[in-house]
């Protein structure tokens, strides 16, 4: 069976030797591995994709022992696809893109469901036929309840990852904390950055030549969680606000899809407020 091990720990000599010895003892054959020691923070990161021939229990026991010796924080996952729950609002370009990539097998995931604060009729352009859909409207007064219901669905479906696919609701601090490290958001990004509403209008008014997007983990600090991926597209003076918005849709979809893909393949490790990405 194929497994992926992702770990971080305080850096010290012997980690790679110990981990690889433990894997070898359980008959593991390494396919792909990467290590990175951050000289500044003194943290060490490792990802190992391997094929195990021995019993899984033995493997887990050996890892647990090594983890204790080296203070490893780690996850070991088999190759079952991740269960992904997508939260969407009115704009559905990211949702459409994720569904298509999932259907053609490009993303290693199962769709645990789609939750929207809008009714299913909003998504007339999409084919949701085999996807559990939950309409969970939200107002200022019902926000706590709605978020509680989202977390219930997360629990009931065994969701591994929550994707905010242009979900236009700010998660509460409690909700953000409850989903820490397993909730990815996408938002537009510009050089320079803009605060406040209608960012594409602001970008247009400023005459920017690049339109960007950033995918990041959600933290209580809005739009400031660890960055997973960023990209840009080129604009020029003839672009209207609508054009910029259309370009933004493409960039957002692609950047989010890459972040979801890497997370699903356990390529993203947290390094304090930053990420280590083993592509």
Point out the residues that are catalytic.
223
Site for a second copy in 168-207 (CB under 8 A): 189-193, 205-207
Residues 6+ apart with CB under 8 A from 213: 186, 187, 188, 189, 230, 231, 232, 248, 251, 252, 254, 255, 256
Nearest to 206 by CA among 227, 189, 192: 192
Residues 6+ apart with CB under 8 A from 112: 83, 84, 85, 132, 153, 154, 157, 158, 159
- For residues 29 and 65, which CB has a smaller minimum distance to a second copy in the complex? 29
Say if residues 8 and 73 touch (Cβ distance below 8 Å): yes
The two tokens of residue 123 are: 């998504």
Site for a second copy in 119-158 (CB under 8 A): 125-127
User: What is the per-residue binding string for a second copy in 220-259, x denoting contact by CB under 8 A?
Assistant: ---x--xxxxxxx---xxx-------x--xx---x-----
- For residues 137 and 193, which CB has a smaller minimum distance to a second copy in the complex? 193
| Rounded Cα distance, 269 and 276, in Å | 5
Residue 55 touching a second copy (CB under 8 A)? no
| Rounded Cα distance, 144 and 174, in Å | 10
Q: Hey, which residues does 113 pair with through a beta bridge?
A: 85
Q: Hey, which residues does 88 pair with through a beta bridge?
A: 116, 165
- For residues 65 and 152, which CB has a smaller minimum distance to a second copy in the complex? 65
Q: Which of 214, 218, 244, 248 binds a second copy (CB under 8 A)?
A: 214
Shortest Cβ distance from residue 233 to a second copy (Å)?
A: 10
| Rounded Cα distance, 72 and 129, in Å | 43
- For residues 52 and 154, which CB has a smaller minimum distance to a second copy in the complex? 52
The two tokens of residue 7 are: 């770990």
Shortest Cβ distance from residue 182 to a second copy (Å)?
A: 18
Site for a second copy in 104-123 (CB under 8 A): 104, 106
Site for a second copy in 7-46 (CB under 8 A): 11-17, 20-21, 23-24, 27-39, 44
Q: Hey, which residues does 118 pair with through a beta bridge?
A: none
Shortest Cβ distance from residue 181 to a second copy (Å)?
A: 15
Shortest Cβ distance from residue 147 to a second copy (Å)?
A: 26
Which chain residues interact with a second copy by CB under 8 A? 11-17, 20-21, 23-24, 27-39, 44, 93, 96, 100, 103-104, 106, 125-127, 189-193, 205-210, 212, 214, 223, 226-232, 236-238, 246, 249-250, 254, 271, 273-277, 279
């Amino acid at each position: 069976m194929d497994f992926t091990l992702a770990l971080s720990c305080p850096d010290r000599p012997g980690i790679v030797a110990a981990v690889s010895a433990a894997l070898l003892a359980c008959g593991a054959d390494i396919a792909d591995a990467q290590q990175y020691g951050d000289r500044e923070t003194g943290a060490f990161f490792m990802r190992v994709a391997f094929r195990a021939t021995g019993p899984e229990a033995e493997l887990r026991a050996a890892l647990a022992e090594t983890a204790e010796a080296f203070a490893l924080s780690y996850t070991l996952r088999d190759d079952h696809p991740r269960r992904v729950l997508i939260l969407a609002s009115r704009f559905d370009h990211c949702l459409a893109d994720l569904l298509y990539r999932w259907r053609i097998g490009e993303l290693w995931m199962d769709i645990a469901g789609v939750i929207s604060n809008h009714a299913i009729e909003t998504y007339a352009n999409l084919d949701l036929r085999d996807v559990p859909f939950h309409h969970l409207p939200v107002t200022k007064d019902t926000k706590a309840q709605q978020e509680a219901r989202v977390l219930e669905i997360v629990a009931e479906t065994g969701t591994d990852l929550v994707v905010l696919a242009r979900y236009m609701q700010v998660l509460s601090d409690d909700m953000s904390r409850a989903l820490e490290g397993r909730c990815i958001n996408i938002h537009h990004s510009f050089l320079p950055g803009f605060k406040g509403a209608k960012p594409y209008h602001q970008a247009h008014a400023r005459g920017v030549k690049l339109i960007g997007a950033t995918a990041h983990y959600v933290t209580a600090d809005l739009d400031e969680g660890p960055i997973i991926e960023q990209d840009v597209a080129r604009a020029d003076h003839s672009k209207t606000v609508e054009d910029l918005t259309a370009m933004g849709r493409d960039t957002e979809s692609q950047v989010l899809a890459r972040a979801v893909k890497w997370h699903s393949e356990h390529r993203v490790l947290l390094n304090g407020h930053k990420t280590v990405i083993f592509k």
